[in-house]
Structure formats: structure tokens, C-alpha cells
Amino acid sequence: MAKTILITGANGNLGTAVVKKFLDEDYKVIGVDHSGSHLGFASTHPQFELHAVNLADEAASDTFVKEAISLYKKIDGALLLAGGFAMGDIAATDGTALRKMFSLNFETAYYLARPLFQHMMESGYGRIVLVGARPAIQSEAGKNLIAYALSKSLLIKLADLLNEAAKGKNVVVSVIAPSTIDTPVNRADMPKADFSKWVAPAQIAEVLEFICSGKGDSLRGPLYKIYGDA
């Protein structure tokens, strides 16, 4: 039977490529975004559905996960891609800026990971993927991205804590840390950069499919540094 995979940030630059990859590989895909906008290529696909949920809202996220579990009985994987970016060294990062990144990157993942992790522990199988980032791992890259780096580093710590709690069970929380992704937004923001060094959304989608496919099933607590040549 096809595995059921929940994908947040489904209409984003990365999410679109990931949804496409998982549909191409015959997974059942439950997409989530904020706006409920259409994913043209997938909107009529029989294995795809798209839900608009504000993932920064804990109650709405919890209700959504519970309804999905009740409908599908088993969620095999959750790719929690929703998130975003902000510049700013410490002088530019006040509490408001900090809370904005915390909400966008950490809360949007935490509020889904919490009920999904419990569901996966009960069902005895599950793969959750959180999206970190290089500035959360390398301080040199993060020193002018204080709120972004801090919010992403919390996700890396969350994965550690959940993997500790899941020891002995076939439930794994992985972290992917892409460098700059080759998106239209990044190309417009950095027109002079060498785009060939960036990582393509489709390359990240390959890694995510590897995680969910079973081929990487012996891995525990992995951190995938998907840096391309950047």
C-alpha cells in the first residue's frame, strides 16, 4: 500500500518540487500550505489533497493532524518544510523579529511534530523531517542572521530530543540543512551569484524520498547537509 506523507510548505519553492517527486513515486500526499493556493500540476491528482492551515496556530494544527489520522489511520511520514528567512545581526534583531522567526520556523514545525510524533510512536513507524539551515550549524554563516539561525537551531535540537525519546522504536526524526536553494526568489535577490553552486529543489526532494522510501531505514538521527557546491 502507498505510504501516506504529509508535506507542509507544499506550495513553496521547495515544497512544489517535493510534492511532485512524491506523487511521481506513487505516495499518497497530504499537502499543507497557509493560503490554500492551487498547485496546478497536482490539483486533480487522485493521490493528492491540499489543506490550508495556519501552522502557527497550535489548536488549528492539532485539529488538522487528528482529522488526518482519523481519515488515513496511519501517517507514515511528515516533511515539515514550512518556514522562512530573515536577515539581521543582533543590533537589528529585537524581540519582535525574534518571535517572528521563532513562529515561522519553529512553531509551524513543532505544532505538527507534536501530535504526529505521538501517533508514530503508537503505530511503531514514522519518519519526520525538519528543515534546518547552514547558519544554524556554522556560526560564521549565522552571525548576521541571528533570529533565523536561532530558530533553525532549535529544530536541530528538537530532532535530537525526539530521537532520544524514540530510541528502540522505528521512529526517526531527520534534519535536512540545505545551503542556498536555487529558487526564483534567491536568483532575484542575488543576481550575481553562481547559481550552479546552489542546490536544486529536485535534489532535496530526492533526499527526502530516500528518507521515506525505506532505503535509509537503518539510519538514526541523521543530519543531511545538502550544500551542493556552495
Ligand X SMILES: NC(=O)c1ccc[n+]([C@@H]2O[C@H](COP(=O)([O-])OP(=O)(O)OC[C@H]3O[C@@H](n4cnc5c(N)ncnc54)[C@H](OP(=O)(O)O)[C@@H]3O)[C@@H](O)[C@H]2O)c1
Residues paired with residue 46 on neighbouring β-strands, in sequence order: none
Is 153 among the residues that bind ligand X (CB under 6 A)?
A: no
Sorted by sequence, the CB contacts under 8 Å of residue 137 that are 6+ apart come out as: 153, 156, 177, 223, 225
Interface pattern 177-196 for ligand X (x via CB under 6 A): -x-xx-x--x----------
Sorted by sequence, the CB contacts under 8 Å of residue 99 that are 6+ apart come out as: none
- By 3-state DSSP, what share of the chain in percent is helix, strand and coil, each rounded to 5? 50, 20, 35
Interface pattern 93-122 for ligand X (x via CB under 6 A): -----------x---x--------------
Q: How far is the CB of 170 from ligand X (least distance, A)?
A: 26
* Single-letter residue type at 17: A
Q: How far is the CB of 118 from ligand X (least distance, A)?
A: 21
Pick the closer one to ligand X by CB: 125 or 195: 195
Q: How far is the CB of 219 from ligand X (least distance, A)?
A: 21
Interface pattern 18-57 for ligand X (x via CB under 6 A): ---------------xxx-x---------------xxxx-
Phi, psi of 139 (to 5 degrees): -60, -30
The strand ranges marked E within the chain are 4-8, 28-33, 48-52, 77-80, 126-131, 171-178, 223-226
Residues of this chain that interact with ligand X (CB under 6 A) are 8-15, 33-35, 37, 53-56, 81-85, 104, 108, 131, 133, 178, 180-181, 183, 186
